[in-house]
Amino acid sequence: NQASKIMELIESGKKEGAKLECGGSRVKGAGFFIQPTVFSNVTDSMRIAREEIFGPVQTIFKFKTLDEVIKRSNDTCFGLAAGCITKNMDTAMMYIQGVRAS
């Protein structure tokens, strides 16, 4: 079932060295609920970075340059949603122009 697939991906994140910031477990009781889960220190090669997780899991990546972020954004066949959070409108516009959304 989907909950088992999500838990398998959460476990892979832990094993591959991502830092579990919160969550990561099933909610006790009836049903297939999973705690909202956040990983930091995620790298591009990790399974949680390369596969879509249809569940309450957020991955956080470090980056050094805007070009690196754009390259990462364009290096995926997935993309149900995209976002850009910044205080600098020039940076946001450069990101929007560089990302190939389809």
Tens digit of each residue's pLDDT (9 = 90 or more) over 16-37: 999 999 999 999 988 899 999 9
Q: State how far the Cα of 24 lies from the Cα of 102, in Å rounded to an integer.
A: 31
Q: β-pairing, 57-61 with 19-22? A: unpaired
Q: Where are the beta strands (DSSP E) in the chain?
A: 19-22, 37-42, 57-61
Contact at 8 Å (CB) between 26 and 3?
Answer: yes
- This prediction has a pTM of 0.83
Residue 82 has what pLDDT? 62
Task: Report pLDDT digits (tens) over 45-88.
Answer: 999 998 988 999 999 988 899 999 899 888 877 765 666 788 99
Strand order of the sheet with strand 19-22? 19-22, 37-42, 57-61
Tokens of 51: 């596969």
Which of residues 78 and 3 earns the better pLDDT score?
A: 3
- Per-residue model confidence (pLDDT) at position 77: 76
